[in-house]
Amino acid sequence: MTKKVAVILSGCGVYDGAEIHESVITLLRLDQRGAKVQCFAPNIAQHHVINHTTGEEMPESRNVLVESARIARGEISDVRDLDAADFDALIIPGGFGAAKNLSDFAISGAACVVQPDVLAAAKGFAEAGKPVGLICIAPHLAAKIYGEGVSCTIGNDAGTAAALGAMGAQHVDCTVSEIVEDEQRKLVTTPAYMLAQSISEAAAGIYKLVDRVLELTH
């Protein structure tokens, strides 16, 4: 039976949106495994816009849903319309957009607030006992979705791991090619570009995450 997977994007570009390599690798692996995918994003303004050639902020405004549509080739919906009942699993790629647009973790750290529509959608999967995959920096959302005691990884960065701990998550150090699974909650996480030095390194862990998320739908 074909599995239906929702993917929440956070814009387009590592510094102010969804990490493009992580997003495409996720979509590629889901397609290779025969899953049916629907992309979603919040219909909100980005936190800011970054010039990806210089790293400098640009004096303009962009919409997260509109920018995410670039990665999804136009096939994207507002995350407020995402109902866990319609899908078997959820995956959220990383990139700074996950910590700037899906929440304000990049600014507020452990005191961050998650965008309400994103949080409601993700909690729907958690409450239904459906598997969720969080990639790169996206695992900072875990404690907000599941509450205290959830196990996850962002790799081995001590400062970020400490922030996750302050939020109530249990951080597990993890190499770039591996995954961490919270079996009780059906949550799978992998470091990807928190550690990856190449696209193939990022793919190694993301492929394992996608495969395990799909296994957990059975």
Q: What one-letter code names the amino acid at 10?
A: S
Q: Identify the DSSP state of 53.
A: T
- CA–CA–CA angle 42, 43, 45 (5° rounding): 100
Spell out the residues 6+ positions from residue 174 whose beta carbon is closer than 8 angstroms to its own.
Answer: 153, 155, 156, 180, 189, 190, 191
Provide the annotated active-site residues: 136
Measured CA to CA, the distance from residue 4 to residue 24 in angstroms comes to 17
Structural contact between residues 174 and 151, judged by C-beta atoms closer than 8 angstroms: no
Structural contact between residues 7 and 98, judged by C-beta atoms closer than 8 angstroms: no
Q: Return phi, psi of residue 54, to 5°.
A: -120, -20
